[in-house]
Amino acid sequence: MRTTTRVLLPALVAALSAAQVAAQNDTPGGGTAPADSTAQADNARSFGTAQQITIQNYRPTDRRGLNVFEAPKNDGVAYDGFKLMLGAAFTQQFQTIGHSNTAAPKVVNGVDQNALVDIGPGFNNAVANLYITAQLARGISVHMTSYLSSRHHSETWVKDGYLQIDSSPIDVPLLNSVMKYTTIKFGEMELNYGDSHFRRTDNGNSVYNPFVGNLIMDPFTTEAGAEVYVRSNGFLAMGGVTAGQLHPSVVDPEHRTPSFLGKLGYDRQLTPGLRVRLTGSVYTNPHSTEQNLFSGDRAGSRYYFVVENATATENSSLRSGMLNPGMGYKMTAMVLNPFVKYNGLELFGEVEQVKGRAKTETADRTWNQYAVDGTYRFLNDALMVSGRYNTVRGPLAGTTSNVGADRWQLAGGWYITDNILLKGEYVTQKYVGYTASNIFNGARFHGFVFEGAVAF
User: 355-411: per-residue pLDDT in tens?
Assistant: 999 999 999 999 999 999 999 999 999 999 999 999 999 999 988 899 999 999 999
Angle at 225 between CA 228 and CA 324, to 5 degrees: 110
Q: Which residues of 406-422 are buried (b: 16+ CB within 10 A; e: fewer)?
A: bbebebebebbbbbbbb
Question: Of residues 251 and 345, which shows the higher confidence score?
Answer: 345
pLDDT per position as a tens digit, 312-328:
988 889 999 999 999 98
CA distance 30 to 381: 6
φ, ψ at 172 (rounded to 5°): -120, 130
Mapping DSSP onto H, E and C, the string for 32-93 reads CCCCCHHHHHHHHHCCCCCCCCCCCCCCCCCHHHCCCCCCCCCCCCCCCCCEEEEEEEEEEE
pTM for this entry: 0.87
For strand 222-232 and strand 235-242, is the pairing parallel, antiparallel, or unpaired? antiparallel
The domains found in the chain, sorted by start residue, are 2-455 (2.40.160.10)
Cα torsion through 241, 128, 346, 215, rounded to 10:
60
The DSSP secondary-structure symbol of 23 reads G
CA distance 402 to 397: 11
pLDDT per position as a tens digit, 222-241:
999 999 999 999 999 999 99
